[in-house]
Amino acid sequence: MATVYEALDLRTERVRALKLLQPSLVSNDVHRRRFTREATVTAKVASDHVVDILDAGIDEASGSPFLVMPLLAGRDLAAEIEVRGALDAPTVLSYLTQIARALDRAHEARIVHRDLKPANVFIAERDDGSTQVMVLDFGIAKLIDRVSTRATEAILGSPLYLAPEQVRYKKERVTERADIYALGQLAYTALVGEAYYAPEDEASDGVMGLLMEMAVGETEPASARARARRSVELPEAIDAWFARATARDPSARFDSASEAVIAFAGVFELPVPEFRNARPVTTTPSTEPQEVIAEAELSEPPPPPARRSWRAALGVAGTAVVVVAAFWTVGARSAGREEQPSATDSAVRAAPSSP
């Protein structure tokens, strides 16, 4: 859907991350609204673990929307797992704790992320060598509403981390507990080195086949599958934790992300992390009118009066830029593909990458 480039703000000389919508999607109203929604939704989540949107607008030459964010040094959790394999429990707890802090703040703002997965969790490196976990890509996030709109929406999110209610054909509210499900699946992936439903994914003939297999639910305890597939030994207590976090019935899951993480610490007998203002999040419909963001109701915000000029430093190392999807380039090589410069070149000028 988009590509994120390392870029230089010509006004401040600060290096930033510049996110551009794929050119083939610029004329698609749904994708444009989903892309620009990220800026407004992210602004509602006050958390150290959500990436700030510094600027947003429409490139006047190409008509493409763009977002400007701080440039993070590090790599996403998917890459971390690919390089390191299964992670130890204390590391996973540290990551989950920071993810839960972001989710708690989002849920308090009545926002459901709906696409939590390893690729949307970034492990940023601080100057002191410590790590800061950031939750990325609120582009398909949705405000929780009293009225179900599930039947009118396309299936959004990554199949291996989708909660059952996100893919059922009957009308059903998708609440913050969909993110709790994804958090449980993400925890298993980090602990084991592959997703719980990796075997079903390998055996399926496509996304719909995988979703049908996942609809059945767990076919074996998490610890047994981890041992059989990856020779990873997990305490048997993880089975009850995973079953609750990923229960088919949303009401049977943990009440909040922080509650799930506190219970996770107990499974491994690790120190319980602290959460500021942690409290369960109810799924009871509110009696007060709530703002709704539905696909058919989104309106594109007007372009800002001022336009930013950017010169892109493309072709940089993968650890220095968050690559959402390498669909295109602007006059340079990016993630193994090379294409002709687009009309966006008037707003983004290619520059040599750092050695």
Is 287 within the bounds of a domain? no
For strand 348-351 and strand 310-313, is the pairing parallel, antiparallel, or unpaired? parallel
- Same domain for 246 and 165, yes or no, is yes
- Same domain for 148 and 249, yes or no, is yes
DSSP state of 295: T
Residue 190 to residue 214: CA distance in whole angstroms: 19
Q: Which residue has the higher pLDDT, 241 or 148?
A: 241
Residue 311 to residue 352: CA distance in whole angstroms: 10
Last residue of a domain, one of 222, 248, 267: 267
> Dihedral of CA 178/188/197/246: which sign?
negative
Q: How many CB atoms lie within 10 A of CB 261?
A: 29
Is 310 within the bounds of a domain? yes
Cα 192 from chain centroid (whole Å): 20
Identify the helix (H) or strand (E) that includes residue 107: helix 89-108
**Total structural domains in the chain?**
2
Which tokens hold the place of 1? 């859907």
- Provide the residue type at 221 as one letter: P
Q: Give the pLDDT band of residue 119 (cuts 50, 70, 90).
A: very high
Kindly give, in sequence order, each residue whose CB lies less than 8 Å from that of residue 88, ignoring residues fewer than 6 positions away. none
What is the CATH classification number for the domain harbouring 163? Answer: 1.10.510.10
Catalytic: 115? yes
Q: Which of 115, 137, 145, 179 is catalytic?
A: 115
* Rounded-to-10 torsion of CA 27, 31, 37, 39: -70
Is 294 within the bounds of a domain? no
- Same domain for 333 and 233, yes or no, is no
Q: Give the pLDDT band of residue 293 (cuts 50, 70, 90).
A: very low
Could you give the C-alpha distances from 281 to 167, 255, 260, 290, in angstroms and in order? 23, 6, 12, 16
Structure confidence at residue 322 (pLDDT)? 40
In three-state secondary structure terms, 242 is helix
Is 272 within the bounds of a domain? no
Structure confidence at residue 296 (pLDDT)? 30
- Same domain for 125 and 257, yes or no, is yes
Q: What is the mean pLDDT of the chain?
A: 75
Q: 174-223 pLDDT, tens per residue?
A: 899 999 999 999 999 999 999 999 888 888 777 777 777 777 777 799 99
> Dihedral of CA 22/118/123/105: which sign?
positive
Which of 67-76, 194-203, 344-353 comes out lowest in average pLDDT? Answer: 344-353
Residue 347 to residue 244: CA distance in whole angstroms: 49
> Dihedral of CA 68/70/73/77: which sign?
negative
Residue 242 to residue 264: CA distance in whole angstroms: 9
Contact predicate 64/346, CB 8 Å:
no
- Same domain for 182 and 249, yes or no, is yes
- Same domain for 197 and 143, yes or no, is yes
The pTM of the full predicted model, rounded to 2 decimals, is 0.75
Structural domain harbouring 46: 2-72+300-351
- Same domain for 175 and 305, yes or no, is no
Q: 133-155 pLDDT, tens per residue?
A: 999 887 655 555 433 334 334 44
Contact predicate 6/14, CB 8 Å:
no
Is 304 within the bounds of a domain? yes
Is 28 within the bounds of a domain? yes
Kindly give, in sequence order, each residue whose CB lies less than 8 Å from that of residue 293, ignoring residues fewer than 6 positions away. 37, 41, 142, 143
What is the CATH classification number for the domain harbouring 55? Answer: 3.30.200.20
- Same domain for 66 and 95, yes or no, is no
Is 278 within the bounds of a domain? no
From 322, 327, 325, select the one nearest 76 (Cα to Cα).
Answer: 322
Which of 17-31, 77-91, 327-341 comes out lowest in average pLDDT? Answer: 327-341
Residue 327 to residue 266: CA distance in whole angstroms: 43
From 247, 264, 78, select the one nearest 163 (Cα to Cα).
Answer: 247
pLDDT at 331 exceeding the cut of 90: no
Could you give the C-alpha distances from 253 to 33, 206, 294, in angstroms and in order? 31, 28, 25
Identify the helix (H) or strand (E) that includes residue 267: helix 257-267
Contact predicate 112/142, CB 8 Å:
yes
Q: What is the CA radius of gyration of the chain?
A: 20
- Same domain for 205 and 307, yes or no, is no
Is 31 within the bounds of a domain? yes
